[in-house]
Amino acid sequence: MSFLFNSFLARKKRIDLGAKVRRLMDLSIARDSTTTEARNDDRYKRTLPVLITPWRGAETTNLDSHIGITRDMSDSGVRVFFLREPQKGDFILSFVLRRERDVLECFHFLAEVRNSARFAPDICTVGLMFKEHLEEYQVVAGVLSLTELIGKQYDCL
C-alpha cells in the first residue's frame, strides 16, 4: 500500500512542478517562438534573471549564491548562462517576477545539473532538470532575503 501512496505523491509533485513552470512562463515575455532543436518537449525562449544557490540539504546557505540568465525553458528543465563553471549536483533556482505594480511572485525550484558547455571564455551554459517546486517554507531564509533584494530592484528599472 505504501508503494501506491509514494507513487501518488511522486505524480502529484510532477503535476505541481509542471503547473508552477507553466505559470512562470505565462507571466514572462517570450523572446520569440519555440526553439527548433529536436527535443522530447518544447522549449520556450525566455530571458529571465535567476538566483542560483548550491543545494546542500540542511547545510544550504546563500553564501555561494549568484545570478544567472535563462536561455530557454520547458516543463522539465531550463538552460542557464552561468558566469562560473558549475559543479555537478543540485541547485535552488529562484525566479522573481512582477505580476502587478506592487506584487512580486517568487518561484523556487530544486534542479539538477544535467550538462554544461563553454559558451564564451568566462561564460558557461548549463542544462538543469527540475526535480521539484519548493514552497517558501522549504527555502533557506538567506535565499528568501536575496530574492526580496532582487524584487526591490524592480523599482529601479
pLDDT tens digit sequence for 50-90: 999 999 888 888 888 888 899 888 888 999 998 877 778 89
Residue predicted with more confidence, 28 or 30: 28
DSSP 63-111: TT-EEEEEEEE-SSEEEEEESSPPPSSEEEEEEEEEEETTEEEEEEEEE
Residue predicted with more confidence, 22 or 98: 22
In this prediction, residue 111 carries a pLDDT of 95
Q: CA 110 to CA 131: how far, in whole Å?
A: 5
Three cell numbers, residue 67? 545570478
**In contact, 68 and 83? CB cutoff 8 Å:** yes
Kindly tell me if the per-residue pLDDT of 113 is higher than 80. yes
In this prediction, residue 5 carries a pLDDT of 58
In this prediction, residue 20 carries a pLDDT of 86
Kindly tell me if the per-residue pLDDT of 156 is higher than 50. no
Domains of the chain: 2-156 (2.40.10.220)
Q: Which of 120, 116, 128 is nearest to 52 (CA)?
A: 128
